[in-house]
Amino acid sequence: MPKDFDDMEDSNRSSNPSIHDVSDPKRRIVLRGGIGLAAAAWFGSLAGCAATPPPAAAPRLGFKGIAASTADAVVVPEGYTAAVLAPWGDPVGIAGRMPAWASDASNSAAEQALQMGMHHDGLQFYALEGSRRGLLVSNHEYTDDGLLHPGGMQPWTPEKVAKSQAAHGVSVVEIVLNEGRWQLVRPSPYARRFTAHTPFAVGGPAAGHALMKTAADPAGRLVLGTIANCASGTTPWGTYLSGEENWANYFIPADTPTAHERRWGIRKNTWYRWNEHDARFDTVRHPNEAHRFGWVVEIDPMDPASTPVKRTALGRAAHEGATVAVTRDGRAVVYSGEDARFEYIYKFVSRDRIRPAGGGLSAAQANAGLLDHGTLYVARFDADGSGRWLPLVHGQGPLTADRGFADQGEVVIKARQASDALGATKMDRPEWVAIDPLAGWVYCALTNNSSRGSGNNPGPDAANPRANNTMGHIVRWQEDGDFSAERFQWHHFVLAGDPANERPEAKGKVQGDAFACPDTLAFDARGVLWIGTDIGPTALNRGEMAHLGNNQLLACDPVSGEVRRFLAGPVNCEVTGCSFTPDGATMFVNIQHPGESPRDRSDAAAPRRYSNWPDFLPDGRPRSATVAVRRTDGGVIGT
C-alpha cells in the first residue's frame, strides 16, 4: 500500500441508514482476554457444525519475540533465518528469456515483463514435491515510477508507461529447497508473468455485458491485464485468487467525473499517468474500460497454458483479496474485503459443489466455472453482535431496473451502489480475511480510517467504534450454521494501537506486543494467526508509531489472545503476504516497498535515502522481495 494512500479512497457518500447510530460501541468491544463467555456461548450453540469444530488446545507460541526494530534489515527471532528470494527485477525463469537485473534500473519494458514485478504483495506456495519443491505465486501491487526508471519519471514517455505496466500484475516462479536454502529453478516450465497486458477471460454475470464492451473488445469478454493486485487466496482446487484493489487510480476522467466515477474514486488527482500514453486509461475516450477492473482474478499456476479469468460473480470492488471456505455440502465460499474507507465486506457462495479431479481433468479444470455461479452478499454488522449477509441479487429489494440495476451484470459491476442501497455497514478499510482452521472464526483486518467522524463522514458505529481510527482493529465472526449462512455473530478481536499514545481512541488494547494498522492476516495449520502491519502515513505524520518500529509480522494465539512480534521488515517497508510449506517448516513473507518515500514518488533517489535493502549496494535501489523464513534446526515455524 503506497504511503499516500490516505489521500485516495474516500468515495462512499451514500446515505444508507446506519442502524449503529444509536448503539453504544463500547458494548460490542470484546477485548482479548474477555471473550471467554461470549465465545463459549457461540461455540456451544454451534457444536456439531462442520464449519465450527470445538476449539483445540491453545496453540503455543514457542519462539522468543523480537524487539521493535528500526534497522534496515529483516529481523527474525533467535534460531531463525530469513533469506531473500525473488526480488523485483530478477528473471522469473522463462526458458531462453531471462534478462538479468540491472541495478541501475535500466532494464527495458520488454525485459521487465520477463522479470519479477515491483512491490510484491499477496503470495501463496503451491507444492510440487511436498515441502521441498513448489511454485511461489506473488502479486505486484503497484509501481514507484521514480524508482522504476534510471532517471525517475522525467520525461514521461511511452516506454516508461510500458515498463510500469510490465512491473504490475502477478508472477509465478518455481523454487526448490537445497541444503536448507530456497532457490529459484530457472528455467522452469511453470515460470510466468501476468502484466497489465496479459489477456484475461471474463466469467460470471458481467461477461459480455454492455458495460464491459469496448472498441478493442466489442464482445466484452476478454480484458487485457490485471493491475493493483493486492492480497491473495488459494482455492481447494489449487488455483490462485488475486484482488484488484486500487485500480481506480489508473483511470483519468474528465474535469468533472460522472457520479458513477466519483462513487468509485475515479478522479484527476492521482499519481498514475498511464493515460498520457495509453488511451485505454482515459475514461472520456474509453468509458467502459474501468468496468473491466476491480475483480477477483483466478489463475491456475499448475497449467502454464491456462487462460486466467476475472470472476465477476464475486462483485466489483477495490478488492483486497479473496479467502475461500467450504460449506458442509461442499460448495465454495469466498470472503473479500474492500480496502477503502467506508466500504464493505463481501461473501460469495457458489451454486455448485466443488468437483474432484478426474476424467482427464485436473481439479482446477474440473472447477473452472465454479466461481461464475452463485450468490453474492454484503455484510451488515448489527449493534447487538449479530450480523446479516444481504444478498446482492437482481430483482430483490432495491436492486431493480427502476433503481438503476438492469440485470445481475449491472449489480456486480455497480456492487458499491448496490451495497449502498441495501444498507450495508461502512467499514474502516477491510483488508485481509483469514479463517481459523480449528475454530471456524472468520477474521478481517480493518487497517485504519482516519476520516471516521470527521466532516460529513459517518461517525463511529458498533463495528467501527473509534473516530479518527489511525490504529485499526480486527473483527471476527462466526457464521450461524455453516459458511453459507445468512446470519452471523461477531465481535472485536483486538483494537490495535500504541499503548504509549496519549489520544484515547488510538491507545491499543493488545495483549502482548503492541502493533498498529493490521493488514495481512493468515492462519497456519496449527491455528496461529499471523498479522502483518501496514502503518499508514496519517499515523506516521502524527508521530504516533514511534514505539512500534518498522512494519512487522506478529504471531497471535487466538485462544489466549497473546500477540508476539516475530519479524520486522526494513525501513519504510510493508510486511505483507504469508504462506507456508505443508510441513510448516518454511514461511514465505513478502517485503513491499522498502525505503518508500512518503513525499516524492517521481524522484528516483528518494527511496534510497531510507533503504537499500536487500542488496546494500553503495548506490543501490531498494527492492521488494520475498523472504523465506526457516528455523536453523528445520523445525516448524513458531513452535
Minimum separation from the CB atom of position 425 to ligand FEO (A): 18
Contact 428, 20 (CB under 8 A): no
If one asks whether residue 6 binds ligand FEO (CB under 6 A), the answer comes out as no
- Binding of residue 245 to ligand FEO (CB under 6 A): yes
Whole-number Å distance between alpha carbons of 117 and 194: 9
CB neighbour list of residue 212: distance below 8 Å, 6 or more residues apart = 202, 206, 220, 221, 288, 291, 292, 409, 413
| Phi, psi values for residue 289, rounded to 5° | -60, -35
498 binds ligand FEO (CB under 6 A): no
Which amino acid, one-letter code, is at 458? P
Decide whether 394 or 416 has the Cβ nearer to ligand FEO: 416
* Total residues interacting with ligand FEO, rule: CB under 6 A: 8
| Element spanning 390, H or E | strand 386-391
Q: Which does 145 bind (CB under 5 to 8 A by kind): ligand FEO, Ca ion, none?
A: none
The stretches of 128-222 forming alpha helices (DSSP H) are: 145-148, 158-166
Quick check: 339 binds ligand FEO (CB under 6 A)? yes
Find residue 176's DSSP bridge partners: 133, 183
Which cell numbers in the block locate residue 365?
A: 479444470
The interface with ligand FEO within residues 513-532 (CB under 6 A) comprises 519
Among 92, 230, 506, 573, binds ligand FEO (CB under 6 A): 230
Q: How many CB atoms lie within 10 A of CB 283?
A: 20
| Residue 427 binds: one of ligand FEO, Ca ion, none (C-beta under 5 to 8 A by kind) | none
480 binds, among Ca ion, ligand FEO, none (CB under 5 to 8 A by kind): none
User: Which residues face 350 on adjacent strands?
Assistant: 374
Looking at beta carbons only, is 278 or 431 nearer to ligand FEO?
A: 431
According to the binding rule CB under 6 A, does residue 141 interact with ligand FEO? yes
Q: Is 6 in the site for Ca ion (CB under 5 A)?
A: no
Nearer to Ca ion, 420 or 431 (CB): 431
The CA-CA-CA angle for residues 331, 423, 457, to 5°, reads 125
x-marked contacts with ligand FEO along 186-225 as a string, rule CB under 6 A = ----------------------------------------
Residue 245 contact, options ligand FEO, Ca ion, none, Cβ 5-8 Å cut-off depending on partner type: ligand FEO
Question: Strands, DSSP E only, in 574-631?
Answer: 574-580, 586-592, 625-631
344 neighbors 419 (Cβ within 8 angstroms): yes
Q: How far is the CB of 311 from ligand FEO (least distance, A)?
A: 19
Near ligand FEO by CB under 6 A: residue from 144, 289, 320, 479: 320
Sequence-distant (6+) residues with CB within 8 A of 97 are 91, 114
Q: Are 562 and 60 within 8 A, CB to CB?
A: no
Residue 8 or 86 having the CB closest to Ca ion: 8
For Ca ion, which residue of 428, 479, 519, 557 counts as binding (CB under 5 A)?
519
Cell of 621: 535501489
- Tell me whether residue 74 or residue 123 sits nearer to Ca ion (CB atom): 123
Q: Please say which residue, 144 or 245, places its beta carbon nearer to ligand FEO.
A: 245
174, 513, 534, 596: which one binds Ca ion (CB under 5 A): 534
* Cα atoms in the Cβ-side hemisphere of radius 13 Å centred on 637: 30
- Dist CA 93 CA 186 (whole Å): 4
In the complex, the smallest distance separating the C-beta of residue 137 from Ca ion, rounded to whole angstroms, is 16
* Site residues, Ca ion (CB under 5 A): 1, 431, 519, 534
Which residues in this chain contact ligand FEO in the complex, by CB under 6 A? 1, 141, 230, 245, 320, 339, 431, 519
